[in-house]
Structure 1
Amino acid sequence: MPATSEAEVHRLIEENLPLVRHVVFQVAVHFPRHVDRDELATAGALGLVEAARRYDESRGVPFDRFAAQRIRGAILDAVRAADWAPRSVRTLARKLEQVEQRLATKLGRVPTAGEKADALGMEPDELRRLQDRMFRSVVLALEYEVADEEEELTLVDVLADDHTKEPSEELESRELHAYLRDAVHLLPERHRLVIVGYFLEGRKSQELAQLLGVTESRISQLRSEALAMLRDGIEAQYEPASSEEPTGRVGRRKAGYADAIAGASEWPDRLTAVALH
């Protein structure tokens, strides 16, 4: 029959408290780091109390085995109660993780979204919606401690505010936009028309091909060439000046383009620029 003596209940609880830590250790490896282990232990301890009150020795089941099941159940119930994601989303999330691991092993690289969607038997849009629901369901405790060697920080201390920037970040962003604006304006005419048309005006490759009287494959080539020029020209603005003269026609052309970007505007003007014109 179930234990009715308070003294017996207290004895079972006190003697089996280490069992709670053992079960928490087993269960916690399946949860993200932000899940508070102390809260799991609290839930497990409540499960131990319930087990001590419900234990019936006459059934022939050792108390530690009976209690371990109750402790584990109490922990899982507490986690589910704090989890906003429905079970269907969690099931699909586990399936997605398994598919990603299997494809990565098979392909030797990170699988694309299309490959993962095919493996799951769903459309890419459906997979994106699933991932969006998964990300929204992750609830982080703001008091979760973040490892730091010099000071104790919590998650709320290190979360970035997307609506505000540090002054240095704002100035860097303005300077980068100014370099990009000047770099686009200094592109060869056809390259500039493709970049402006494709990225700023939203034109399709077919429309740009008709405008310039070339094939769509040529438009793709011009776009790739222009993006490479923009990347190299802007990166050159942040690199130390070289004392060596550029060699070869391509090297001289790249250096001339980078120099033109550097001289296109004064630094005070760059820091006041906020967008392409």
Structure 2
Amino acid sequence: MVLQKYLEELKKIKLLSPEEEKELWIREAEGNEDAHQKLITSYQPLVFKTAAQFHVPEETMMELIQEGTVGLLEAAENYDYTKGVAFSLYAIHRIRGRMRDFLHREFSHVELSLDRETEEGWRLAEVLPSFQLLPEEVAERHAVSDRVSRAVDRLPQKEKRVLMGIFIENKTPTVLAADIRVTTNHIYRLEKQGVRRIRGMLSRFMSDLKK
């Protein structure tokens, strides 16, 4: 029931336009609490979307959402809108990290087979896949994530906006076309160009990783 009420509240949240969000970040940087709250509320769907990737029962899901919201708040406190990095890309690492830390605290001490299914129908293997990584694998993932973020930052503004919209904000090409005031076909072209450009920037780095 609690999760259902939460989902009902999520449906009421309206997406901010880029202009509205920028104005809120300016006001938030000046200490405006109302702007801060509006920003946190507008990004609650990102918290839920991240939590939904973990296959857990409702009670644990709500705790994950709470942890993710803490990560969202931490990200907002440290975010600098003047650097031009989309907040969703910046915040997702904090949100996901908080959730994984919570699951690790809650379940790492439980002596259960990772393949054993609980009464609720979920498996620890589905929830805790990253906890089995070796330290060097974790470092490699962080390195790749950092390179991808930097590559995205170097894209032309429209390509960056399209990729962020599709892969981070989960917007459809039609919605993005309306936002940017171009045709849907142009959105697809910008997406392909952006992906191709990122692959080019990462090709040497990925080749070095495989050596």
Q: Which structure has the larger Rg? A: 1
Q: Identify, as 1 or 2, the structure richer in helix.
A: 2
Sort the TM-score into its range (normalised by shorter chain): 0.3 to 0.5
TM-score of the aligned structures, taking structure 2 as reference length: 0.36
